[in-house]
Amino acid sequence: MSAEKEHSEHGGAVATSSERLVDLYKKMVEIRAFEEACQKGFRQGKIGGYLHVYIGQEAVATGFIDSFKEGDKVITAYRDHAHALLLGTDPKEVMAELYGKGTGMVKGKGGSMHLFDVERGLMGGYGIVGGHIPLGVGFAYAMRYQGTDHITQLYLGDGAISNGAFHEAANLAGLWGKDGMCPCLFIIENNQYGMGTSVERTTAMTDLAAKFDAYGIENEKVDGMDIEAVLESAGRLTEQVRETGKPYAIEVLTYRTAPHGAADFFEKYREKEEIEEWRKRDPIGLLEQKLLDNDAADEEKIDEIRSEAKELIAEAVKFADESEEPEIDELYTDVYAGADEYTGEE
């Protein structure tokens, strides 16, 4: 995440350096390759449980984590592979986790929905819709209480907004923000569906950013398929939240072109045409076109990036596949912290 950033004086989007765009393109392509490998692993029965991929949404986390600074925290729901990869966890460890191996980033104990890399700022991976939101608000308070200038990047889905946990946490954030005690950036990944339910069928008021008005939290929207637009918002808002200690909410309009979960085949809830329309605005495709148009990269470079990504992920798959299952004794560790490691069986 080291590429130089360029901001306009007025906080508007400006052209991003070619090198940086190529770098971001590479990341997105890696994520896509990773997710496709996951889908394959699931079909092969190598990955179990629930699996939710990020295909179509890559520009969101890629854009925001570009503004991540050491000490900041990222928290999200179960669609969390991209966040781990972008924060720098080795794809091998991510894939090994999904394969349920002892070399996985959480020792095979969590699986796809529960990725953690606390050292790098990834505070999880949660499976209960909305349940992680209060935690992220708590992180923000703690970081100010401890006198740092770190912030929380809190990702949530459009579906999560209907949940009471969202409401209570957002209200706390607004309240604590009055005293500069809640540096939390709410990033609403509005991919327009919560499982099979469209936003229109979830709420009568579909302007998700504006829902934050109810909590006194400033908010805006951005096109989540346009990486440059995302970068601009990310840079500006991250620093604003860091400076003020006040929360901010941004609704990122995006679309998952993959099914909700890997076991969700039918997709009766949306038309094929709709998916096709959105594929035309695929964030990777859009960026690729831009790179080519601006001579930031040529076909050769693109091919190189793609095949490097494939290779990287193939290695991750190999690593995962060849790793051992966790030791059986690991079943009983990590239940309690502290000397006693009490497991309830005296």
Partner 1 sequence: MAETKTYREALREGMVHEMDQDESVVLMGEDIGVYGGTHLITDGLIDEYGPKRVIDTPISEGGFTGAAIGMAMLGMKPVVEMMTWNFSFLASDQIIQNAAKVRYFSGGQVEVPLVIRGPNGGGVQLSAQHTHSLENLYGHFPGLKVVSPVTPNDVKGMMITAIRDPNPVIFLEAGALYGTKGEVEEGDNAVEFGKARVAREGSDVTLIAYGRQVNLCLRAANTLEEEDGVQAEVIDLRSIRPFDEDTLVRSVEKTHRAVTVQEQWRWFGVASEVAAIIQEKAFDSLDAPVQRVSGAEVPAPYARNLELEAFPSEKQVTNAARRALYIEEK
Ligand X SMILES: Cc1ncc(C[n+]2csc(CCOP(=O)(O)OP(=O)(O)O)c2C)c(N)n1
Q: Which member of 11, 49, 196, 216 binds a second copy (CB under 8 A)?
A: 216
Q: How many whole angstroms separate alpha carbon 91 and alpha carbon 98?
A: 11
Q: Which member of 63, 91, 100, 127 binds ligand X (CB under 6 A)?
A: 127
The candidate with the shortest Cα–Cα distance to 152, out of 160, 164, 144, is 144
Taking CA atoms, 175 is separated from 131, 183, 251, in Å, by 19, 12, 20
**Within the chain, what is the greatest distance between any pair of CA atoms?**
68
What track of x and - describes contact with a second copy for positions 169 through 188 (by CB under 8 A)?
Answer: --x--xx-xx----------
Identify residues 220-279 at the interface with partner 1 (CB under 8 A): 266, 268-269
Q: What DSSP assignment string belongs to 31-44?
A: HHHHHHHHHHHHHT
Retrieve residue 105's tokens: 């980033």
Residue 157 binding Mg ion, by CB under 5 A: yes
Number of residues binding to partner 1, judged by CB under 8 A: 85
Least separation, in Å, of the C-beta of 39 and a second copy?
33
Least separation, in Å, of the C-beta of 74 and a second copy?
24
Least separation, in Å, of the C-beta of 32 and partner 1?
24
Q: Which phi and psi angles does 280 have, rounded to 5°?
A: -65, -25
Q: Which member of 43, 48, 276, 318 binds partner 1 (CB under 8 A)?
A: 48
Shorter beta-carbon distance to a second copy: residue 203 or 244: 203
Q: Which member of 145, 272, 280, 300 binds partner 1 (CB under 8 A)?
A: 145
Residue 71 binding partner 1, by CB under 8 A: no
Q: What is the dihedral of CA 326, 48, 225, 67, to 10 degrees?
A: -20
Q: How many whole angstroms separate alpha carbon 136 and alpha carbon 195?
A: 23
Residue 219 binding a second copy, by CB under 8 A: no
| Residue 51 · residue 38 · CB < 8 Å | yes
Shorter beta-carbon distance to a second copy: residue 41 or 174: 174
Residue 91 binding ligand X, by CB under 6 A: no
Shorter beta-carbon distance to a second copy: residue 147 or 164: 164
Residue 58 binding Mg ion, by CB under 5 A: no
Residue 197 binding a second copy, by CB under 8 A: no
Decide: helix, strand or coil at residue 117: strand
Identify residues 183-202 at the interface with Mg ion (CB under 5 A): 191, 194
Q: Which member of 164, 205, 273, 300 binds partner 1 (CB under 8 A)?
A: 164
Identify residues 204-223 at the interface with ligand X (CB under 6 A): none
Q: Which member of 204, 328, 337, 339 binds a second copy (CB under 8 A)?
A: 204
Cα 122 to its chain centre, rounded Å, is 10
Identify residues 308-337 at the interface with partner 1 (CB under 8 A): 325-326, 328, 330-337
Q: How many whole angstroms separate alpha carbon 325 and alpha carbon 311?
A: 24
Identify residues 143-172 at the interface with a second copy (CB under 8 A): 162-168, 171
The candidate with the shortest Cα–Cα distance to 303, out of 38, 28, 26, 56, is 26
Buried b (16+ CB within 10 A) or exposed e, 121-130: bbbbbbbebb
Q: Count Cβ atoms below 10 Å from residue 145 Cβ, excluding itself.
A: 9
Considering CB distances under 5 to 8 angstroms, the limit depending on partner class, which of partner 1, a second copy, ligand X, none binds residue 102? partner 1
Residue 193 binding ligand X, by CB under 6 A: yes
Q: Count Cβ atoms below 10 Å from residue 38 Cβ, excluding itself.
A: 27
Q: Count Cβ atoms below 10 Å from residue 42 Cβ, excluding itself.
A: 20
Helices and strands (H and E) in the chain: how many: 10, 8
Number of residues binding to a second copy, judged by CB under 8 A: 24
Considering CB distances under 5 to 8 angstroms, the limit depending on partner class, which of ligand X, partner 1, Mg ion, none binds residue 345? partner 1
Q: How many whole angstroms separate alpha carbon 63 and alpha carbon 25?
A: 11
Residues that bind Mg ion (CB under 5 A): 157-159, 191, 194
Task: Please report, as ranges, the residues that interact with a second copy according to CB under 8 A.
Answer: 162-168, 171, 174-175, 177-178, 201-205, 210-211, 213-217
